[in-house]
Structure 1
Amino acid sequence: MKRRTWTAVGLALVVCATAGAAQAQPLKNENLLVGMPQGFKLGFKDSKNGMNMQEFIPTGETVQNWTEMVTVQVFLSRKDLQPTPFLAAMQKQWSDGCKGSTSTAVSTGKVNGYAAAAVLLRCPLLASTGKPETTMIKAIKSNDSFYVVQRAVRSVPTPERLETMKKYIESVSVCDSRLATAPCPTVR
């Protein structure tokens, strides 16, 4: 049986679960639903100035030297942030930091009733690492917080790898057990 790990990140809630866990648990309040790719581990975690961040990398790699990374950011109580302008600011930082970079809108609309947008950013050669880097980013504005999830690779990804990144980003969602319009799944 293939093992899949899901992480639900809420205001102060971090739930890691695996298929085959003994007891299903209902999620409470608002939660970011993001899957941890198989073979990844938590490499970095920090909370400051109302922002919680986690970086996940493949087992055997470090946050200083990685081939692939998932970054999860939760901006607590930031009702002022909006997905499209936030991603536009990230695109500008990206292009300022990488000559020849490109950006492509992936999606805009709603995710489980919440405003969301996603973008694909490509850098042919990142000066700080001497490697190409590609990242897909999704931002979601909810009632309680603002969420940003990135999946990045330090390479020029194949079409298959890009499709994996896209499916991963598409699976990111927010739920709220207090709202019938944004129901939460039961987590094992």
Structure 2
Amino acid sequence: MFKSLACAAAVLAASLLSSSARAQLQDENVLVLIPHGFKAGWQGANGPMTTVEYVPTEESVDDWSQMITQQIFHGRTNEPPDSLPTFMGTGWRAGCPGGAGRKLSQADENGYPSAIWVFTCPRNPQTGKPETAWIKVISGADSLYSVQYAVRREATDETTRAALTYLQRVTACDTRRADRPCPKAPKL
């Protein structure tokens, strides 16, 4: 469902931000921490969109309990962050009877407009399981970025807290602009 309904999510990941990764940051970047115990299960490009899907190491993109999806929509510059979730909502509701999406928050983070949405599906017709996806979209000067955190089970308060905490750490920066700074590498 994640691929078929959500058309998945965003990013050039400067994963884990080691000092070598920070030293390599150039231009506009979306910074995403990939949780321990996850692996890249699939990555590819479709025209101007690049996608990476992460799943727990013992799972696959065809059979997962949790998935983090990152997408970059290259060339979609300064686009409102609600544009992608609004578009996704139509497909989500069509693919999941009783499915719904709603905006949870909107903010300006490090100079970038961003929004967080949640999509729920009481029973995915493809898997027979409930599915919830939280998505953060960041409107960049170079591209539109999205990161999704999804689970194939009913969302609990604990799951929701974990997803939102994770997405709140996703941020964008630009090495070319002082008003959108990237993290500095620690001095050794």
TM-score (norm 2): 0.86
Q: State the aligned residue count.
A: 177
Q: For each residue in 1:88-124, what CA deviation from the matched residue of structure 2 results, as whole angstroms up to 9, or x when unmatched?
A: 1111211111111222311112121111111111100
Q: For each residue in 1:29-79, what CA deviation from the matched residue of structure 2 results, as whole angstroms up to 9, or x when unmatched?
A: 110111101210110000230111000000110000000000000011112
Pick one of 71, 74, 77 that aligns with 1:76: 74
Conserved 8 A contact 2:120-2:131: yes
**Identity of paired residues, percent?**
36
RMSD: 2.2
Q: Secondary structure at the match of 2:154?
A: coil
Instruction: Within 5 Å, give how 1:135-150 maps onto structure 2.
Output: 135-150=133-148
Pick one of 120, 123, 128 that aligns with 1:122: 120
Pick one of 63, 66, 77 that aligns with 1:65: 63
Letter of the 1:137 partner, please give it: I
Q: Secondary structure at the match of 1:164?
A: helix
Partner of 1:152: 150
Instruction: Within 5 Å, give how 1:18-167 maps onto structure 2.
Output: 25=23, 27-79=25-77, 81-167=79-165
CA spacing shift, 1:182–1:122, aligned 2, 3 Å: same
More helix by share: 2
Structure 2: which 5+ residue stretches go unaligned? 1-10
Q: Secondary structure at the match of 1:78?
A: coil
How far is the alpha carbon of 1:80 from its aligned partner?
6.7
CA spacing shift, 1:100–1:82, aligned 2, 3 Å: same
TM-score (norm 1): 0.86
Cα distance in 1, alignment partners of residues 87 and 22 from structure 2: 40
Structure 1: which 5+ residue stretches go unaligned? 1-8
Cα distance in 1, alignment partners of residues 52 and 60 from structure 2: 13
Cα distance in 2, alignment partners of residues 27 and 178 from structure 1: 10
Q: Secondary structure at the match of 1:185?
A: coil
More strand by share: 1
